Amino acid sequence: NNGDGSFSDHTAHSGLTGIFGGLNVVTADYNNDGHMDVFVLRGGWMGAAGNHPNSLLKNNGNGTFEDVTYASGLLSFHPTQTASWGDFNNDGWIDLFVGNEHGGADQNDNPSELYLNQKDGTFRNVASQLGLDVRVFAKGTAWGDINNDGLQDLYISNLLGKNLLFLNEGGTSINDWKFTDISKTSGVENPLSSFPTWFWDFDNDGWLDIFVASYDMANLITAQVVEANYWLGNKDFVKSRLYKNNGDNTFSDVTTEFGLDRPMFSMGANFGDLDNDGFLDMYIGTGAPNLRSIIPNLAYRNNAGKSFEDVSLTCAFGHLQKGHGVGFADLDNDGDQDIYTVLGGAYEGDNYNNALFENPNETNAWITLELEGINSNKKAIGSRIKITTTNHRDKKEIFYAVVSTGGSFGCSSVRQEMGLGQAKEIDEIEVTWSNGSQTVQKYLGAKLNKAFRIIEGQSALQDLDYPMTKFKDAPMEGHKHHH
């Protein structure tokens, strides 16, 4: 990002020339140096030919990256395209869960992996020790604290069976740390053919809910027929699931009630706030490799936590090109989240330019928060934010967020870019830090439509002056994606 509304290709300068791309990337600051590092995932879908190692690219802080996969202990040969960063033991160092693809065309043993951060730039696989070396066809993984006990729980979407939810019950050390499989009792095993997933608080009640998108393997070639039949009233398809957190380690399936019971064929997806009303919306990249599988990409607007409205066409998101990774971020620093999505199919005749959607929202209030952990991990991933506002009708409103980089297929900004609706003032910002002690800090005096840094343990907000830019009109010929 050149800061003037344009972007430049810095691949060579960054030291990335010759490093093969992957199917997905997930970012985090694994060594607490303040710079976001990149984990590249490879080999998914390829069966026995998919044993390509993933790569950990260390951010050197000067615009360059270094491949530290072998040195870090993350060299592993299993097909995957999903992983998730989370500090599951609250020691202030971010850990990594890698969901591998077990089953399908590959007859090899491909258990999932949980890498414990050793605090010295290396990782150790403790999945077997903690009972997380599950053997499923993992297509999405996400960390989230479902019961607000300060411990990150783990959700895994499975393409070839039931999804999994593991409750983190903690321990005094890694030797007695415990995860419990509550998939069945929590009610979140469906759909049986799942892909991207995430934790989010879609209704702003302070409890993390789950969205998991379906990928209807039985109808990939005739996806457009399934879509047409849906509009004719035929509901014979694998639907995605929206699970509302009941606050007691169980969830309710509210998919139909909230208007999301439709075909999706989702490959990539993510969430953010399209209109800065304080309620999280989502963009879903759809399709399948077959050239005949053509359905529009989807976008859903959250109606104040009460339903979701399909705005795919009204907001010009309904591309027919195959959709993959999706990221939400305020790229022009104007206070609303823009969307970048990877488009294009698996065959040479099906490639297409990626798309950047500029958000024109100019009405609702917002705030951008950049958290910095001291006892928590540096980027404060897993920390909870609660903002209380007073709106123009003098009514109190509460908005929640959890620091993350979004969904499992696509990577969003770790800065928390939060819409505040019709707020006229911010009463209080409350941060619960992901440091094991659930330390709570409260901040007064924050102004609307500004950016702040919050440092763990410090009592004052720090003003951040992000220069606003305006995107330049781009030529039609851009980067073409071949997935």
Tens digit of pLDDT for each residue in 294-312? 788 999 999 999 999 999 9
Give the Cα separation of 347 and 140 in Å (integer): 24
Give the Cα separation of 296 and 313 in Å (integer): 9
Provide, rounded to the nearest whole percent, the portion of the chain with pLDDT above 90. 75
pLDDT tens figures, 40-61:
999 888 777 788 899 999 999 9
Extract the tokens encoding 284.
């879903």
Identify the pLDDT of residue 221. Answer: 58
Bond from prior residue into 191 cis (ω within 30 degrees of 0):
yes
Q: Are 340 and 424 in contact (CB under 8 A)?
A: no
Q: Phi and psi for 85 in degrees, rounded to 5? A: -90, 135
pLDDT > 80? residue 480: no
Identify the pLDDT of residue 462. Answer: 97
Q: Which of 4-18, 341-355, 382-396 has the lowest mean pLDDT?
A: 341-355
Provide, rounded to the nearest whole percent, the portion of the chain with pLDDT above 70. 94
Q: Are 117 and 30 in contact (CB under 8 A)?
A: yes
Q: pLDDT class for 229, splitting at 50, 70, 90?
A: low
Total-model pTM? 0.94
Pick the closest to residue 243 from 167, 165, 181, 299 (CA basis).
165
Q: pLDDT class for 19, splitting at 50, 70, 90?
A: confident
Extract the tokens encoding 460.
């004052």
Q: Phi and psi for 375 in degrees, rounded to 5? A: -85, -30
Query: Which strand (E) or helix (H) includes residue 44?
Result: none
Relative to beta strand 365-372, strand 450-455 is parallel
Give the Cα separation of 211 and 266 in Å (integer): 12
Q: Are 79 and 46 in contact (CB under 8 A)?
A: yes
Bridge partners (DSSP) listed for residue 198: 211
Per the prediction, the chain carries an average pLDDT of 92
Distance of CA 104 to the CA centre of its chain: 25
- Tokens 């499975």, located at residue: 158
The one-character DSSP state at 104 is: T
17 CB-near residues (< 8 Å, 6+ apart): 11
Give the Cα separation of 106 and 245 in Å (integer): 35
pLDDT > 80? residue 225: no
The arithmetic mean of pLDDT across residues 410-426, rounded, is 96
Give the Cα separation of 373 and 328 in Å (integer): 22
Q: Are 317 and 291 in contact (CB under 8 A)?
A: no
pLDDT tens figures, 126-154:
999 999 999 999 999 999 999 999 999 99
Identify the pLDDT of residue 252. Answer: 99
Q: Phi and psi for 178 in degrees, rounded to 5? A: -135, 130
3-class secondary structure, 272: strand
